[in-house]
Amino acid sequence: MVSIAQITDLPLADPKFTKQCGATLDRDGVLALSGFLTPHALSQLQAEAAAGMDKAYFCTQSHSVYLSPSDPDLADDHPRNRQVISSKGCICDDDVAADSVLRQLYDNQQFRDFIMAVTGEDQLHPYADPLSSINIHYARRGQELGWHFDNSSFAITLLIEKPGAGSHFEYVKNMRNADAGEMNYEGVERLLDGKMPADRLHFDPGTLVLFRGRNAIHRVSPNESDDVRMLAVLAYNNQPGVELSPNARMTFYGRLN
C-alpha cells in the first residue's frame, strides 16, 4: 500500500490549508487544486486509464438538464423537457485494481478527512453497489457531457488526460435553488438558446476538482481532437448503504454488477 505522500504532496492535514480550500469552494462553488497528483502518481494513472479503455462501456444518452423524466403537462420544448446529449465511455469501480492510485486515494482516511473538512460533510461512505464509487470516463472526438445539474451536493474529479482541442468544462453557478424548489426555467432556456454566457474552467492533468453542481448548471463541450479525454470520478455518499438505481446502472454502465 502506498502512502498519501506518494500520491499528493499537498498539505491535506493542515487546518489552514483545508480552511482556505473550504472558503474557496463556498465562495466560487468550485475548487481546482492544480498539481494535486505527484508526477509519478499521474504517470501511473495515465498508464492505467489507457490500458483500461478497452473495457469501457460507450453510450449516447438523451436527457433533460434536470436529469428527471419528462413532464407530460409541459411542452416538449419547455426547459424542463428539452433534451441534450451526453456521450462517453466508462469503466466502473470493479475494474479499478486494488493497487491503483485511484483506489489508494479513495480509501485513504486522510483524503476523506480532507474532503469532509472542505465540504462540511460529517461522514463519507462508498456506494453500496459494486460499480459506482470510482469511475473513469473517456471522451473521444465529438463526445460530450450535456448541460445538467447534479443530484449530489458535490462531485470530485481528477483530470487524467486533456485533449488538444475542445472538452471545455463550462458552468453557470447559482442557476437554480433546488432546495427551495426554484428551477429557473427562464435562465435555463436562455442558456440552452445561447443567450447567456458561461464561465469556463481551465485545468491540466493531475488537477483535483471539487464542484458543487446541484445548483450550478454545467457541461463538458465536445472533444474536438483525436486525443481521448480521460477523467476519474470519485463518488461518496454522506450515508451508508446508498446504491445507484438498477435503471441508472444499466443506462450508464450497461450492466448491474
- Which pLDDT band holds residue 252 (cuts at 50, 70, 90)? confident
> What whole-number distance in Å separates Cα of residue 31 and Cα of residue 15?
16
- How far apart are alpha carbons 32 and 182 in whole angstroms? 28
- The three cell numbers of residue 226 are 483525436
Assigned C-alpha cell, 38? 505527484
User: The C-alpha cell of 30 is what?
Assistant: 468550485
Q: In 3D, which of 16, 7, 6, 76 has the Cα closest to residue 232?
A: 7
User: CA 147, CA 234: separation in Å to the nearest integer?
Assistant: 20
**How is residue 64 annotated by DSSP?**
-
Q: How far apart are CA 217 and CA 197, in angstroms?
A: 12
What is the side-by-side order of every strand in the sheet holding 155-161? 30-33, 208-211, 155-161, 229-234, 134-139, 84-91, 57-63
Fold for domain 4-253? Jelly Rolls (2.60.120)
Question: pLDDT tens digits for 40-88?
Answer: 999 999 999 999 999 999 999 999 999 988 999 999 999 999 999 999 9
> Average pLDDT over the chain, rounded to whole?
95
Cα three-residue angle 109-238-92, rounded to 5 degrees: 75
| pLDDT value of position 225 | 98
Q: In the predicted model, is pLDDT for residue 238 greater than 80? A: yes
Q: Which residues is 234 bridged to in the sheet?
A: 134, 156
Residue 220 has pLDDT above 80, yes or no: yes
Crossing angle between the packed helical segments 109-119 and 15-28, to the nearest 10 degrees: 50
pLDDT for the residue 32: 98
DSSP tag of 255: S
**Which runs of consecutive H residues, i.e. helices, occur in 29-132?**
39-52, 101-107, 109-119
Please state the domain extents for the chain. Answer: 4-253
4, pLDDT greater than 90: yes
Q: What is the pLDDT of residues 131-152, one digit of tens each?
A: 999 999 999 999 999 999 998 8
pLDDT-derived band at 196 (thresholds 50, 70, 90) equals: very high
Residue with cell 493542515: 14
Q: What is the pLDDT of residue 247?
A: 80
The residue type at 218: H
Q: Which of 4-8, 67-71, 84-88, 191-195 bottoms out in mean pLDDT, i.e. has the lowest?
A: 67-71
- What is the pLDDT at residue 15? 97
Q: With beta carbons less than 8 A apart as the criterion, state whether 126 and 239 touch.
A: no
**CA 19 to chain CA mean position, Å:** 22
Q: Say if residue 75 is exposed, middle or buried (CB neighbours under 10 Å; 0-12, 13-18, 19+).
A: exposed
